[in-house]
Amino acid sequence: MSIWDERYAPNTYFYGTEPNDFLREHASFIAPGGNVLCLGEGEGRNAVYLAGRGYDVVALDQSPVGLEKAQRLANSKSVRIQTIVANLDGYRFESGRWDGIVSIWCHLPSAMRTVLHRQVIVGLKPGGVFLLEAYTAQQLRYGTGGPKDADLLPSLAELTHDLEGMEILQGTEGERVVHEGAGHAGLSAVVQMVARRPT
Ligand SMILES: C[S@@+](CC[C@H](N)C(=O)[O-])C[C@H]1O[C@@H](n2cnc3c(N)ncnc32)[C@H](O)[C@@H]1O
């Protein structure tokens, strides 16, 4: 059992059942009714939210325990999502498949992250949109959630480099108050990005 399976083992939802604020505010950048892949989607709160807004959603995570709860959450809200248990390390995307790809707190080692983000570009349709929120390395001083390893915490400059060739519609680094279940609570240092694959 992985550390994430253990974290998700209780019946409660570690990050709650409400969607991430950044996603809620920026989901409409993705074409209405489009197909969306949620990376590192855990217990499914963001996937279920997007499905409720009419998107056709696939939630991918390495944790079968998390994704089983994601399906339960979807059933409880009478929406449908698809789930894929997979490791993002070396994951290959079908070319031009997605209207949207979403990465919320999906913190990966920097080398893996760069490879994944090159795949994100491949996986998006022309005009498809990538939405990301992550903690930055400054978060290590805040102690309000997130990984403790700086290599997992990207800067805006690193993300912009990873996503070279994409149109950066919004890219910000700064502070915001995050309240998401027991996992994330309080003033936090985050990076947010909305990027579009050129048509
Ligand atoms: C902080 S949680 C965020 C969960 C979800 N995105 C949310 O906002 O509620 C990070 C998630 O990334 C997943 N993850 C981390 N490394 C992964 C990898 N290499 N492959 C697939 N999933 C991974 C974990 O299993 C975990 O569910």
Query: Probe ligand 1: pick from 48, 62, 91, max atoms within 8 Å of CB?
Result: 62
| Cα of 24 from ligand 1 centre, angstroms | 18
- What are the C-alpha distances in Å from 63 to residues 10, 76, 131, 132, 148? 14, 20, 21, 20, 20
* Stretch 15-20: mean pLDDT: 97
Confidence band for 1, pLDDT divided at 50, 70 and 90: confident
pLDDT at 192: 98
130: Cβ below 6 Å to ligand 1? no
pLDDT at 184: 84
| Cα of 40 from ligand 1 centre, angstroms | 3
pLDDT at 181: 87
| Cα of 129 from ligand 1 centre, angstroms | 20
* Stretch 113-133: mean pLDDT: 98
Question: Position of tokens 């930055």?
Answer: 136
Per-residue pLDDT reduced to its tens digit, 157-197: 999 999 999 999 999 999 999 999 877 889 999 999 999 99
Q: What is the pTM of this model?
A: 0.98
Residue nearest ligand 1's atom 1 by CA: 105
pLDDT at 182: 79
Ligand 1 atom showing the smallest separation from residue 16 Cα: 9
20: Cβ below 6 Å to ligand 1? yes
* Stretch 13-37: mean pLDDT: 97
